[in-house]
Amino acid sequence: MPAPPGTVATGDCRGRTAKDRADNGSPPAAGGDPTSVRSFAVRPRQSPVATVPGGVGIALTLFVLAYAESLLRSLRRGRKKVTATIGMAVIGALLGVTMVVGVWLLAAQEPAVATVTVCAALGMVGGVVAAIAARRISQRRRFRVRARTG
């Protein structure tokens, strides 16, 4: 599937050019000249992490990890039980998408929509499980404090 114009790509790409006019400046003959279309391969020398998608992937990863840590801290303290659990589901889905972006950059293969969807769903499940675990840690800590002071 050809990429739309103006997209940013990583890894090996194929390009295609077409002449609008003949060499003398006049429009090409009806039906077009088959030699006026050229196809070429592009192999970048830089790391895929140094591209715009690489920078966005790194920034998104840092944001997701910081936000998840913030939500888990509030859950471990016994606060925001419902909203933090929902937030962890959303952050988990974003983490799944971030991992797909990372693999896309390192493997230089564009991911399929099904891959992104499955990874987002698995990340969402992982976020909910992490939230439940943090809530259990909070409950356990409170039970221990009550047992000591009991």
* Domain containing residue 93: 48-149
Interval 94-147: pLDDT, tens: 999 999 988 888 876 778 899 999 999 999 999 999 999 999 988 888 888 888
- Mean pLDDT score, 79-91: 91
Scanning the chain, the segments in alpha helix (DSSP H) are 52-76, 81-107, 113-149
**Residue at 34 is within a domain:** no
Bigger pLDDT: 73 or 2?
A: 73
Number of structural domains in the chain = 1
Residue 49: pLDDT above 70? no
Report how far residue 58's alpha carbon sits from residue 101's, in angstroms, rounded to the nearest whole number: 9
Residue 35: pLDDT above 60? no
**Residue at 28 is within a domain:** no
137 exposure class (CB count in 10 Å sphere: 0-12, 13-18, 19+)? middle
**Residue at 71 is within a domain:** yes
**Residue at 110 is within a domain:** yes
Query: 13, 14, 11, 43: which is closest to 107 by C-alpha?
Result: 11
Q: With bands split at pLDDT 50, 70 and 90, how would you rate the model's confidence at 58?
A: confident
Model pLDDT, residue 5: 55
Residue 92: pLDDT above 90? yes
**Residue at 20 is within a domain:** no
Model pLDDT, residue 140: 85
State pTM to two decimals: 0.66
Residue 1: pLDDT above 60? no
**Residue at 11 is within a domain:** no
**Residue at 22 is within a domain:** no
CB contact at 8 A, 138 and 87: no
Model pLDDT, residue 144: 83
